Amino acid sequence: MAQLCAMCETTVAKYKCPTCRAPYCSLVCCKKHKETPCESVPAPITPHKSPTLLQDSAPSSFTVMSEDKENEKLTDEQMDVLRTSVKVKELLANSAITQALTQIDNSQNKIKALEKALLDPMFAKFMYHALDEIKLQHNAGARRGFQSIVSSLVPMVLEQSPRGERVFDIYSRLLKERIVFVHGPVNDNMASLVTAQLLFLESENPDKDVYMYINSPGGIVSSGLAIYDTMQYIQPKVNTVCMGQAASMGSLLLAGGTPGCRSALPNARIMIHQPSGGAQGMASDIAIQAEEIIKLRTRLNGLYASHTGKPITVIEQAMDRDLFMDPQEAQDFGIIDSIVANRTTQSSGK
């Protein structure tokens, strides 16, 4: 049974006072309730009609609201705009949208449920239109929050086939074309995803090339080596392309592509340097870490030497400090084999 607001006694309550747990429906009633001392006895529960979409309804569990939440709530006038919007009503005729709204309302984690629902282009269209309808002029923070959620989502693409239509996220669709992205800092999570994709593509067709697009500032050495070793382990040729930047471990992944299949776009940049790290604890612990990082530097120098054809002494000198290179310098150094301005200048690959 729904509870009515203890203040106005006309609207279904959505919140409870954090002190006395008295139910109320809005910030106005909250302020009115605070004008008098809190009562220890909660407001009586009275019957109310079943809630419908876009009408005031009682959630399954009450939320404690304070004045800090004012900018996150819609006003009565804004709710009236939604109720009377012809376009919103037309969109709500889609059962998938109404089902998604119900799932969000019943979810314990509404933000996660909203993010999941927004993967559906139709639901995202509904939400954008709803925001346009109510014109959140004084609630710009809520609009920015919603847009930040949407902007962080992966774009979806529609593919038509004789068997019907299928919706893919953009990376899954490109994976079907054997394209793998190494974008962002290299860490354990990225290494897990990239190595899994490489192994999957090998199982699909061990004789067909893989295309790896790199735009990374580098990151954790062990994570980068996991990707590098997988690149060397699998049977397909790995074509590496630098777009943006390939720094630190990103440059090793770029150089680790199949010889003759390593390239960079004209405005990319490549940077190599020796590994860095820190240690704390007793002197013996610090000595162990220092010895390990020296071994790691020696190993990385050897890998760069094998892929570039440069002597170890040249590699050690070049990697002593950050060495930034444009594509032409990287090609002269041996990290890449060609500079690709457009697809027509690339002898092979996608």
C-alpha–C-alpha distance, residues 280 and 288, integer Å: 11
In one-letter notation, the amino acid at residue 229 is D
* Token representation of residue 16: 């409870």
Known active-site residue 172: no
DSSP, collapsed to helix, strand or coil, labels residue 266 as coil
Q: Is the dihedral of CA 185, 186, 189, 190 positive or negative?
A: positive
* Token representation of residue 105: 């309302």
DSSP, collapsed to helix, strand or coil, labels residue 263 as strand
Catalytic residue among 48, 57, 107, 273: 273
Specify the DSSP class assigned to residue 4.
B
Catalytic residue among 248, 251, 263, 307: 248
Known active-site residue 248: yes
Length of the chain: 350
Strand partners, 212: 180, 240
CB atoms within 10 A of CB 210: 26
Q: Where are the beta strands (DSSP E) in 260-333?
A: 262-264, 269-272, 323-325
C-alpha–C-alpha distance, residues 119 and 154, integer Å: 8
- Which residues form the catalytic set? 248, 273
